[in-house]
Chains A and B, each alone.
Chain A
Amino acid sequence: NAGVTQTPKFQVLKTGQSMTLQCAQDMNHNSMYWYRQDPGMGLRLIYYSASEGTTDKGEVPNGYNVSRLNKREFSLRLESAAPSQTSVYFCASSERDSDSYEQYFGPGTRLTVT
């Protein structure tokens, strides 16, 4: 049982390049999330998907797109990377029918845009 996996673990991009961050969970959760964490700060929600086939904007969606490919996978795309998108990106999943709605986090992707 791997939980939540993210690829890649590290990435360096030049300004203007594009890339897709991949996330998969094997816990059969309905809800999935993408967060970014800037140095010394908390997590800010970029996008989330309450269930397969739906996606919604979070606090900081500008410059990102997402795809809920199926129940397991939720990808985050940067179409034209900017230095302000240098951050650690976390994917998370949860089962909204549970009492606590606890989120399970992936290990993170450290992205640097030069």
Chain B
Amino acid sequence: AQKITQTQPGMFVQEKEAVTLDCTYDTSDQSYGLFWYKQPSSGEMIFLIYQGSYDEQNATEGRYSLNFQKARKSANLVISASQLGDSAMYFCAMREGPSWSSASKIIFGSGTRLSIRP
């Protein structure tokens, strides 16, 4: 069965510093996808970044990058130059199976609460 683990319940980081949020996963599938979502205090879920299991390069989206280490089954989110607006819950998620499969579903980790200090 697929599983996502986020071991950091909460983190405090100084503004403008870089921060790494940890995520490990467990799957027996060769084809899968990994996501990061941000949930601010307002409650909405905001998609940040995606990495496919066959992608050879780490995904990047602006200040967000995904440090994908397939052999270690880790998909850490790196936020460069953190800002006060980055304070939120961050969820790692995984889709097991290829994207075109009707059986694919996405499961989420328990989240990391990131707080940025001014």
The interface residues of chain B lying within 8 Å CB-to-CB of A59 are 107
Contact of A58 with B110 in the complex, beta carbons under 8 Å: no
Contact of B99 with A50 in the complex, beta carbons under 8 Å: no
The interface residues of chain A lying within 8 Å CB-to-CB of B107 are 45, 59
The interface residues of chain B lying within 8 Å CB-to-CB of A100 are 33, 35, 50, 52, 99
Inter-chain CB contacts under 8 Å: number: 69
- A99 vs B100: C-alpha distance when bound (angstroms): 8
* Minimal beta-carbon separation of B11 from chain A (angstroms): 15
The size class of the interface chain B forms with chain A is: 20 to 34
- A42 vs B108: C-alpha distance when bound (angstroms): 6
The interface residues of chain A lying within 8 Å CB-to-CB of B47 are 102-104
- Interface residue? A112 (CB, 8 A): no
- A84 vs B52: C-alpha distance when bound (angstroms): 36
Determine, out of A15-23, A67-75, A90-98, the stretch whose residues face the partner at the interface.
Answer: A90-98
| Subset of 5 A-B contacts with CB under 8 Å | A33-B105, A45-B106, A90-B45, A101-B106, A107-B44
Which 5 A/B pairs are nearest by Cβ-Cβ distance?
Answer: A50-B102, A105-B45, A42-B108, A101-B99, A100-B50
